[in-house]
Amino acid sequence: MDNHDVPPTEGPPAGVSSVRSDAAALRAFYHSQATRPIAFRKEQLRALGRAIEVHDSDILDALHADLRKPRLEAYASEVGFVLSDIDYAVRYMAGWARPKRRRAPLISWPSRGCVRPEPYGAVLIIGPWNYPFQLLVSPLVGAMAAGNCVCLKPSELAPATSAVIAQIIRDTFPKDYIAVVEGGRETAEDLISQGFDCLFFTGSARVGRQVMKAAARHLTPLTLELGGKNPCIVCRDIDLRAAARRILWGKCMNAGQTCVAPDYVLVDTHIENRLLTEFKRVLHEFYGDAPRQSLDYGRIVNHRHFERLVGYLDQGRIVCGGEHEADDLFIAPTVLADIHQSSLVMQEEIFGPILPVVPFQSIDELVVGLRQRPKPLALYLFTRDRAIQERILAETGSGGVCINDTMSHLFSKNLPFGGVGTSGMGRYHGKASFDCFTHNRSVLRRSMWPDPGFRYPPARHSLATVRRFYHLLMRR
């Protein structure tokens, strides 16, 4: 996912002194203890929800301006998604924030232990351009629910959405509680250098490495939500029409510019031609003879990404699609076949509306090939065979798995979302968003009496006695 790898061309620079003063104000407000009460957190989240609803049309207009997102798709994947996050957090956060009792060891009797969920403090969230509202504000919900003060850095590559977010936040919250800093790459670097108490970044693996390196200078705990080449496996026992619809729905949302979109299809060689036929039929049903005229299809974010994607079109046989128009940043949904594994389209994350289809001969061959690749953010598997399902789950790795559908796992508040390896680290969504911005502080309280002397020097017992003591008291 390329999100912050373009030199800034839009968005005012924040300035180091301004960034420093914003960070200091956030820390001061946090140390005032104002964010600690659950009632405060709930009211602030409700205020955020009300502000989003008031600016609903402004947000949808901005998403259309930045990415030509259809309004229905934009609401479902961005605005509605965030509003449901807010409702869920308000409903359950009191329980999440309650200290949890833990059993204390007998060696410290009489005592009691607990784990106190506590906010990190002042946290930084850096958002991407592909879902510029949801992927910035959804983590914000978790950070607010956990009791943090927050600095938001929207993507400069989605300037209209960045401006609307800035307006919503500045009209709703004091700057020392929730701050928005607009700008490009240098602004992001200045923000990271302030040593925030926690950092949440969504973007490409390449930039994620740079962010992690910069955060390491301050030992800042961080969550990285990155991307990868998400495989979509189609076995011969599946309903091909339903599979084709679900695969192309996930691939074509936001014109393929989704970190969990199916990146390529691995199909049983016996049904490859039938699946390709279904793909052609389904794309025609979705977008008609002229996808460029469809109100349900978006555009590529900028010319740099447009040219990169057009370069993939000659790396296989175009089964359907392939039309493109630079002036409109339009690339039709395209299915490729007869692709060489060494081609760039099979080595790089596509992040666009181009879907390579590659046949496989056996599950053994399939598993070996998947193991040779970095672990993706998502893996999709279409089969009714429970044995194959369990084998793929056991013998491959990925951030998440969705069986017989694509992308639906994102919408569950009970399924933590995140990557593994080069696809990221850390989890969020639902309670996991609260946990992401929470330090679980262990506390043990002990009475001053009794105070036996056996643990103090000089030693009064043999090693054999101590061994028996540990066996009885410390292993419980």
pLDDT reading at 229 higher than 80? yes
**Residue 149 confidence (pLDDT):** 98
DSSP secondary structure letters along 283-333: HHHHH-S-GGG-TT----S-HHHHHHHHTTTTSSEEEE---EEGGGTEE--
- The pTM assigned to this predicted structure is 0.93
Check whether 450 has a pLDDT greater than 70.
yes
Question: Does 195 share its domain with 49?
Answer: yes
* 127 three-state secondary structure: coil
- Residue 11 belongs to some domain of the structure: no
Residues 273 and 379 in one domain: yes
Are 367 and 287 in a shared domain? yes
State the pLDDT confidence band at 459, using cuts at 50, 70 and 90: confident
- Say if residue 210 is in the same domain as residue 298: no
Which domain, by its residues, includes 24? 16-226+427-438
Task: Collapse the DSSP code of 182 into the 3-class scheme (helix H, G, I; strand E, B; otherwise coil) and give the result.
Answer: coil
Residue 238 and residue 152 in one domain: no
Predicted confidence band of residue 13 (pLDDT cuts 50, 70, 90): low
Candidate list 73, 156, 225, 272, residue with the active-site label:
225
Q: How confident is the model at residue 108 (pLDDT cuts 50, 70, 90)?
A: confident
pLDDT for 475 equals: 61
Q: Rounded to 5 degrees, what are φ and ψ at 300? A: -75, 150
The whole-number average pLDDT for the span 286-292 is: 97
Judge if 115 and 134 occupy the same domain.
yes
Percent above pLDDT 90 for the chain: 87
Instruction: Report the pLDDT value the prediction gives residue 165, as an integer from 0 to 100.
Output: 98
Which regions of 378-446 does DSSP assign to beta strands (E)? 378-382, 400-403, 424-425, 438-446
pLDDT at 8 over 60: no
Q: What whole-number distance in Å separates Cα of residue 358 and Cα of residue 127?
A: 33
Q: Identify the band that residue 4 occupies on the pLDDT scale cut at 50, 70 and 90.
A: very low
pLDDT of residue 46 exceeding 60: yes
How much is the mean pLDDT over the chain? Answer: 94
pLDDT of residue 107: 75
Provide the percentage of residues in the chain whose pLDDT is more than 70: 96
> What tens digit of pLDDT does each residue of 344-353 get?
999 999 999 9
Residue 421 in tokens: 């390896």
Mean pLDDT of 109-125: 95
With respect to residue 469, please indicate whether it lies within any of the assigned structural domains: no
pLDDT higher than 50, residue 390: yes
Query: Which one is catalytic: 149, 259, 320, 402?
Result: 259
Same domain, 248 and 367: yes
Same domain, 87 and 179: yes
Does any domain span residue 308? yes
Q: Whole-angstrom Cα distance, residue 476 to residue 470?
A: 9
Number of domains in the chain: 2
Residue 139 lies in a domain: yes
Predicted local distance difference test score (pLDDT) of residue 195: 94
Cα 69 to Cα 49: distance, rounded to the nearest angstrom:
22
Say which CATH number the domain at 398 has: 3.40.309.10
Q: For residues 213 and 287, state if they share a domain.
A: no
CA–CA separation, 219 vs 437, rounded Å? 15
CA 213 to the chain's CA centroid: 19
Residue 14 confidence (pLDDT) = 55
User: Would you place residue 164 in the very low, low, confident or very high pLDDT band (cuts 50, 70, 90)?
Assistant: very high
In terms of domains, do 92 and 140 share one?
yes
User: Does 175 reside within a domain?
Assistant: yes
More confident residue, 449 or 429: 429
Q: Report which of 80, 132, 78 is spatially closest to residue 302, judged by C-alpha positions.
A: 132
Q: Is 349 a catalytic residue?
A: no
The per-residue pLDDT for 6 is 38
pLDDT of residue 476: 54
Whether 443 is in a domain gets the answer no
Whether residues 433 and 413 fall in one domain: no
Which is more confident, 5 or 162? Answer: 162
When pLDDT is averaged across residues 126-140 and rounded to a whole number, the result is 98
Note the pLDDT tens digit of each residue in 181-217: 999 999 999 999 999 999 999 999 999 999 999 999 9
Based on the residue annotation, tell me whether 365 is a catalytic residue of this protein.
no
What is the bridge-based pairing of β-strands 222-225 and 424-425?
antiparallel
Question: Residue 46 is part of a domain; what is its CATH number?
Answer: 3.40.605.10
The reply to whether 92 falls in a domain is yes
Residue 129 lies in a domain: yes
- Under DSSP, the state recorded for 375 is P
**3 has a pLDDT exceeding 50:** no
Q: Check whether 7 has a pLDDT greater than 60.
A: no
Check whether 133 has a pLDDT greater than 60: yes
- Same domain for 244 and 220, yes or no, is no
CA angle 414, 418, 422 (to 5 degrees): 165
pLDDT at 141 over 50: yes
pLDDT at residue 9 in the model: 39
Does 104 score more than 50 pLDDT? yes
